Amino acid sequence: MKLTLGLLLAMTLSAQQAADWLELFNGKNLDGWVVKIAGHELGDNYGRTFRAEDGAIKVAYDQYTDFGNRFSHLFYKQKFSHYRLSLEYRITGQQMKGAPGYARLNSGVMIHSQAPETILKNQDWPISVEAQFLSNDGELKRPTMNVCTPGTEIFMKGQMVKAHCTNSTSKIYRGEDWLKVEVEVLGGERVRHFIDGQVVLQYETPQIGGGVANGFDPAIKQDGKLLTEGYIGLQSESQPVEFRNIRLLNLSGCMDPRSPRFKPYFVHRDDTQCAPAARGPGIYPQYEPDDSSGFVSIFDGKTLNGWDGDTTFWRVENGEIVGETTPEKVVKVNNFLIWRGGKVKDFELKVEFKLSGTNSGIQYRSVELPEVGKWVLKGYQADLDIGNGYTGNLHEERGRMPGHVVLARRGDVTRITEGPKYKVLATLGDNRMLRGVVNVQGWNQYHIIARGPVMLQILNGQLVSATIDEDTKNFVPEGLLGFQMHVGPPFRVAYRNILYRKLN
């Protein structure tokens, strides 16, 4: 069998991920889990509702005489924000007498749940989002891996979902066979439900709100608060059910490639997880990860105050600057949302971005061209594109030759001496391999450092291009900062956490 480089890399990454999955259930006991049953104190596993038997966590009611609205949940000890949860379940036996009809052949797993210690004694459901598990018999015919929202709200395609439960597109599953399911959670951005590797449901922006949950602490239910992290809980609401092979792949962690704890599949940066460098012998000191000391925010998270652009395309949404075109609203010439806080000269900029379609860029040390159009800029640009062919390049918008010119490709250290020509002094890595630094489907961070003729572009902690501009005729030492609205098919780009530091 002939292995291509791409296939070999994919196999290596798959093997690495397999080794990194965390087993949440040890197959023997409930260590690491805590029970909360409505009407009972935290930790009171009334009637051994949850038990570990035969390598599975089982929900049973053989020691109950009455259900008594004892809606129950078994919570894992640790909270998570960005992860992929995998488990198998099967719904078995007869529903407990006296329970509500909607709970028959019904269970689920709660995500982004409130902390179990904050759930009051008589609270029925935790404030959380539920991936709902349903089975069927001769009377029932329902999909599974649906979503329900006790004390929460979700969005689909930009619109708040009014229904408490929303069906997935899954097949109809019957009987007591084991079914493997997965839930992918990306903080407060997006949640996807999977069966057999296929997406059956997707929703966005989970937040506290709505009804259904009862008996909660009002201080916990802060309607409108975005849910970016929380606990995982297995549900029991009168129907015997079993869970096994409960595993989790954490997608949040160290994204500094220099750290031994770096993982290429991470999508959420948490450099507190980076291992400190070992102290070397002789003159080599211990280093500390970079931070944002001395930076100031140039975006208030609520308005476009301090920014200037065409509000047909630019708006603020969920703490992000969003640029968007549609088939009805098209861009005829590349234009920019310009920061009016002054010109940037020697500086550092840190900004997170997420792109959905086409192309955008971060313009710096640029000048306006009113003769071409309003909000049109010329100058250096940290490029980004949905195809991930140019992200990391240093481009020059309307630069030293008609149109646009590349001053440094991703992976290159270049020196410019005359016109658009440049020399490659060194490489920072293979351009194709550096594609892996970019999270095409999620958030990334650009870190730009410009001092004199030297410009460094860093993506997610990896230096991807470096340029020395010694072209005395064309070098521009200072100018405006802006975000690009690119011509072409409809697309959406978002920027957030925009931090600026002036260098002395």
296-502: which CATH architecture?
A: Sandwich (2.60)
Q: What is the pLDDT of residues 98-111, one digit of tens each?
A: 899 999 999 999 99
Question: Would you give the DSSP letter of residue 433?
Answer: H
Domain ranges of the chain: 14-250, 296-502
Given a cut of 50, whether residue 206 has pLDDT beyond it is yes
Q: Per-residue b/e over 316-335, b at no fewer than 16 CB within 10 Å? A: beeebbbbbbeeeeebeebb
Which tens digits make up the pLDDT trace of 429-438?
887 778 878 8
Q: What element of type H or E holds 12?
A: helix 5-20
In this structure, of 241-245, 300-304, 384-388, 405-409, the range with the lowest mean pLDDT score is 384-388
Point out the least confidently predicted range of 116-130, 278-292, 363-377, 383-397. 278-292
> What is the pLDDT confidence band of residue 202, given thresholds at 50, 70 and 90?
very high
Average pLDDT over residues 404-410: 88
pLDDT in tens, 277-308: 444 455 556 556 677 889 999 999 999 999 99
Instruction: Enter the tokens of residue 304.
Output: 């476009």
Structure tokens at 94: 């007869």
Residue 10, pLDDT score: 44
By three-state DSSP, how is residue 312 classified? coil
CB 347 within 8 A of CB 502: yes
Give 14's pLDDT tier (boundaries 50, 70, 90).
Answer: low
DSSP H or E segment with residue 405:
strand 404-408
Residue 455 Cα distances to 384, 466, 475, angstroms: 16, 6, 12
pLDDT at 12: 43
- Nearest to 364, CA basis, from 397, 390, 393, 410: 397
Higher pLDDT, 483 or 269: 483
Considering the chain, what is the average pLDDT of its residues? 90
Ranking 91-95, 118-122, 173-177, 481-485 by mean pLDDT, the lowest is: 173-177
Those residues with Cβ within 8 angstroms of residue 249's Cβ, 6 or more apart along the chain or in another chain: 17, 20, 21, 22, 83, 84, 86, 265
pLDDT band (50, 70, 90) for residue 139: confident
Residue 285 is predicted with a pLDDT of 60
Residue 137 pLDDT grade (very low, low, confident, very high; cuts 50, 70, 90): confident
Would 14-250 and 296-502 be classified into the same CATH topology?
yes
CATH number of 14-250: 2.60.120.560
Give the pairing of strands 152-156 and 421-427.
unpaired
Listed in sequence order, the residues at least 6 apart from 48 whose beta carbon sits closer than 8 Å to its beta carbon are 60, 63
The pLDDT of 157-173, averaged and rounded, is: 93
Q: φ and ψ at 117, to 5 degrees?
A: -70, -10
pLDDT of 402 reads 66
Tell me the mean pLDDT in the region 159-186. Answer: 93
Query: What global pTM score does this model have?
Result: 0.62
Residues 465 and 381 sit within 8 Å (Cβ to Cβ): no
Q: Which of 275, 250, 207, 206 is nearest to 80 (CA)?
A: 250
- Tell me the percentage of the chain whose pLDDT exceeds 90: 72
Q: How far is CA 144 from the centre of its chain?
A: 24
Q: Give the count of beta carbons closer than 10 Å to the beta carbon of residue 397.
A: 22
Residue 112: its H or E element:
strand 106-113
Calpha distance 361→381 (Å, rounded): 6
pLDDT per position as a tens digit, 480-495: 999 999 998 888 999 9
The secondary structure element, H or E, covering residue 244 is strand 241-250
Integer Cα distance of 281 and 404 in angstroms: 48
Residue 245 — left, alpha, or beta (φ > 0 → left; ψ -120 to 50 → alpha)?
left
3-state secondary structure of 93: coil
Q: Give pLDDT, residue 489.
A: 87
| 24-63 pLDDT, tens digit each | 999 999 999 999 999 999 999 999 999 999 999 999 999 9
